[in-house]
Chain A
Amino acid sequence: MTPNSETSRGENLASCHDCGFVVALEGGAHHAATHCPRCHAVVHRRKPDSLNRTWALVITAAMLYVPANIFPVMRVISMGKAQEDTILSGAIYLLVHGMWPLALIVFFASVVVPLLKLIALTFLLISIQKGSSWRPVERTKLYHVVEAVGRWSMTDIYVVTILVALVSLGNLATIEAGLGAVYFAGVVVMTMLAAESFDPRLIWDRVRESNG
Chain B
Amino acid sequence: MLDLNFKALGSAELSIPAGWLTLCHACDLPSRVGNVPVGGTARCPRCGSVLYKRVGDSLDRTLAFALAGLFLFIAANAFPFLALKMQGNVTHTTLSTGVRSLYEQGSPIVASLVLLTTILAPLLQISSLIFVLGPLRLGLRIPGQARVFRVLRSVQAWSMMEVFIMGVLVSLVKLLDMAQIVPGLALWSFVLLIPVLAAASSSLDAEWVWRRIGLEE
Contact residues of A with B, CB < 8 Å? 1-6, 8, 11, 13-15, 17-22, 37-41, 90, 93-94, 97, 99, 102, 105-106, 109, 136-137, 140-141, 143-144, 151-152, 154-173, 176-177, 181-182, 185-186, 188-189, 192, 196, 200-201, 203-205
Report whether A3 and B163 are in contact in the complex, using a CB–CB cutoff of 8 Å: no
A205 and chain B: residue at smallest CB distance? B28
- The chain B residue with its CB closest to the CB of A7 is B30
Q: Are A21 and B214 in contact (CB under 8 A)?
A: yes
Which of A5, A94, A164 sits near B98, CB closer than 8 Å?
Answer: A164
Query: Distance in Å from the Cβ of A38 to the closest Cβ of chain B?
Result: 4
Give 7 A-B pairs besides A15-B22, A41-B150, A154-B164 with Cβ atoms closer than 8 angstroms: A1-B37, A20-B207, A90-B174, A157-B110, A161-B110, A162-B168, A177-B102
Query: Chain B, interface size: which category?
Result: 35 or more
Is there an interface contact between B160 and A154, defined as CB atoms closer than 8 Å? yes
| CB contact under 8 A between A137 and B82, given known A19-B210, A109-B166 | no
Q: Is A37 within 8 A of B216, CB to CB?
A: yes
Select from chain B the residue with minimum beta-carbon distance to A73. B110
User: Contact check: which of B27, B93, B101, B215 meets A204 at CB < 8 Å?
Assistant: B27
Partner of A164, one of B30, B101, B158: B101
By DSSP majority rule, is chain A's interface helix, strand, loop, or mixed?
Answer: helix
Option from A136, A192, A201 in Cβ contact (under 8 Å) with B157: A192
Interface flag for B217 (CB, 8 Å):
yes
Given A4-B31, A158-B164, verify A201-B98 contact (CB < 8 Å).
no
Of B35, B149, B158, which contacts A39 at CB under 8 A?
B149
CB contact list, B20-37 vs A, under 8 A: 21-23, 25-37
B150 contacts which chain A residues (CB < 8 A)? 18-19, 39, 41
The complex places the Cα of A159 from the Cα of B181 at a distance, in Å, of 14
Name B's A-contacting residues (CB within 8 A).
Answer: 21-23, 25-37, 40-43, 45-49, 51, 82, 84, 86-87, 89, 91, 93, 97-99, 101-102, 105, 107, 109-110, 113-114, 117-118, 146-147, 149-150, 153, 157-158, 160, 163-164, 166-171, 173-179, 181, 206-207, 210, 214-217
Say whether A22 contacts B21, CB under 8 Å: yes
Q: List 27 A-B contacts (CB under 8 A).
A: A5-B30, A8-B30, A15-B28, A17-B25, A19-B214, A38-B146, A39-B149, A40-B215, A90-B174, A140-B48, A144-B26, A151-B163, A152-B163, A155-B163, A157-B110, A159-B174, A160-B110, A164-B101, A166-B181, A168-B101, A170-B86, A177-B105, A181-B107, A181-B110, A196-B157, A204-B26, A204-B28
A99–B43 CA distance with the chains assembled, in angstroms? 41
**Residues on B with beta carbons closer than 8 Å to the beta carbon of A102:** 169-170, 173
Q: In whole angstroms, how far apart are the Cα atoms of A152 and B170 in the complex?
A: 13
Contacts A3-B51, A136-B47, A162-B98 given; indicate if A203 touches B27 (C-beta within 8 A): yes
Residues of B within 8 A of A205 (CB): 28
Contact status B93-A140, CB under 8 Å: no
CA distance A205 to B36 in the complex (A): 28
**A1 cross-chain contacts in B, Cβ below 8 A:** 34-37, 40-42
CA–CA, A141 to B44, complex, Å?
Answer: 12
Point out the residues of chain A lying under 8 angstroms from B149, CB to CB: 19, 39
Interchain CB contact under 8 A, B30 and A165: no
Q: Given the complex of chains A and B, what is the CA–CA distance between A175 and B17 in angstroms?
A: 58
A196 to chain B, nearest CB (A): 7
Contact of A3 among B32, B158, B207 (CB under 8 A): B32
Q: State whether A5 and B82 are in contact (beta carbons under 8 Å apart), knowing that A19-B210, A22-B22, A159-B170 are contacts in the complex.
A: no
Bound form: Cα–Cα A106–B168 in Å: 12
Nearest-Cβ distance from residue A128 to partner chain B, whole angstroms: 13
| Inter-chain contacts of A188 with B (CB < 8 A) | 113
From B43, B118, B171, B177, name the one whose CB has the most chain A CB atoms within 10 angstroms. Answer: B171
Shortest CB–CB separation between residue B160 and chain A, in angstroms? 5
